[in-house]
Amino acid sequence: MIKNLRGKKAMSVVVASVIMVALVIGLILVVWNVVNGLVNKELEETQSCFGIFGEVTLNHKYTCYNSSANELVFSLNIGDVEVNEVVVFIDGDGVTKSFNIKTEAQTIAYLKNYTSGTLIQLPDKNSGLTYRANLTGIGISSAPDTIKISPVMDNKQCDASDMLNQVDSCSSLA
């Protein structure tokens, strides 16, 4: 009878060890699935902005400040990518103003097409358009400090794709 008990004690240590190993493996699988799900979700969100470097830009040659009209003239170029909209940020006089230029025509109170017309829309793929922003309407009374653009792809705003830290006078570009 004593022999029988010793064998059962040894058997319970083995069973306990197997259960502990199974619990650890189960816990590792649960943690792996949670972490994997989070990483995959973040990757899917960032992939919409992948590959746009150099595709949504400001045309620096046609971006300038017209002091006589207190206007910022800026030109957007869209390369070989599908963009839903572009968020434009203008900084100056301690004020930052942003607005969205979309693919469908819209009216923005202080923004006009360069040539004429108040219906504003994003340039088509592989093209560009120039705009005039009335800085007085935005709340900026002098030359802007910076202009920055951020494309929106698959309804997600990407990081800034282009920025101009010093806006030259339009008269110096002539």
Q: What is the mean pLDDT of each run of 10 residues along the chain (174 residues)?
A: 55 84 93 87 69 88 94 95 93 92 92 88 94 93 94 88 92 65
Q: What is the pTM assigned to this prediction?
A: 0.72
Residues 97 and 168 both lie in one domain:
yes
CB-based contact 143:65 (threshold 8 Å)? yes
Cα–chain-centroid distance for residue 21? 45
CB-based contact 95:150 (threshold 8 Å)? no
Residues 24 and 100 both lie in one domain:
no
Q: Could you list the residue range(s) of the whole structural domain that residue 152 is in?
A: 56-173
Residues 104 and 84 both lie in one domain:
yes
Residues 73 and 126 both lie in one domain:
yes
Give the span between the Cα atoms of 120 and 108, in whole angstroms: 7
Residues 135 and 163 both lie in one domain:
yes
Domain containing 88 — which CATH number?
A: 2.60.40.10
Residues 71 and 34 both lie in one domain:
no
Residues 132 and 60 both lie in one domain:
yes
CB-based contact 173:64 (threshold 8 Å)? yes
Residues 24 and 97 both lie in one domain:
no
Domain count of the fold of the chain? 2
Residues 143 and 109 both lie in one domain:
yes
Residues 64 and 145 both lie in one domain:
yes
Question: Which tokens sit at 18?
Answer: 């197997």
Residues 43 and 65 both lie in one domain:
no
**Predicted local distance difference test score (pLDDT) of residue 129:** 95
Residues 25 and 62 both lie in one domain:
no
